[in-house]
Structure 1
C-alpha cells in the first residue's frame, strides 16, 4: 500500500470537530525544516485532502504544526494573553509505506495525540 498522511482535530472541550484550524506540515532533514503543506480543517475537523498524498509521500522525520491559538481566537474561546496553547508542534517519523494518521484532541489547556488508523 502506498503511504500517505492524514489528521483529524477534535475540540474535546465542546465535544465537536475543530473546524477552521490551520495545519502545516514540515519535512525535517539534517537540521533543515522545509514546509511542504498548509491546509485548514473542514467542518468535520479533517483536511479536504491528504496532508501528504501518495504521490508525494516519503519516509522520514516530519513535524505537524497545529495553529491552535488562532483557531481559539476565531472560534470565540475566552481570550488570554498569551494563550496557554498557541502553535502545537508534533514531531514524528514515518518509517514505512503506510497510512499515517496523526489526530489532535484539544481543549484550551491541554491536548493529546496518537498514531491513529
Structure 2
C-alpha cells in the first residue's frame, strides 16, 4: 500500500516542530486545488495519521507548513512580515503504491526538504 507522511524539525532549537498546522492539496492540471488533509503536528513533529494511504493518485501535490505561527508561538522575534510564514512544498506522486515521506527542516529564515521513505 502506498502512503504519504511528513514531519517537521525545528533546526533553530534542535527539536521536533510540535503544533505546526499542515495542509495537503492535490493540484489539478487546470490550476484547481483539492484539499486532501488538514492537521497539526504532534509532540514528535509528526502527524498522528498518514496524510494519504492506500493506492495513491498520481499527480502534483502541495504541503503547506505554517512555520511563522509556530516560531511566533515560541516567542521568536520575527520581522513583520516574516521572511518565511507559510512554506509550500510542491512535489509529484508517480507511484500509486509508493511510500512518500516529505519532511521539513525549518528555521524562521530557511528550510529544506527531501523524499524520505
TM-score range, shorter chain: over 0.9
What per-residue deviation string (whole Å, max 9, x for no partner) do you get for residues 24-81 of structure 1?
00001121111110010000000000011226x3121100001111111122211321
1:90 matched to 2:93: no
The aligned residue for residue 16 of structure 2 is 17
CA distance in 2, matches of 1:11, 1:35: 25
CA contact (8 A) 2:78 2:108 kept: no
The size of the alignment, in residue pairs, is: 115
The answer for the alignment partner of 2:76 in structure 1 is 77
After TM superposition, the structure 1 = structure 2 runs for residues 41-52 of structure 1, keeping only pairs within 5 Å, are: 41-52=41-52
Q: Tell me how far apart the structure 1 counterparts of residues 90 and 102 of structure 2 sit (CA, whole Å).
A: 10
Secondary structure at the aligned position of 1:43 is classed as coil
| Structure-2 residue corresponding to 1:114 | 114
The corresponding residue for 2:60 is 61
Deviations 1:78-117 (A, max 9, x none): 1321101000011100100211000000011100000011
SS in 1 for 2:52: coil
SS at match of 1:13: coil
TM-score (norm 2): 0.93
- Secondary structure (helix, strand or coil) at the match of 1:73 reads helix
RMSD (Å) for aligned C-alpha atoms: 1.1
Gaps of 5+ in 2: none
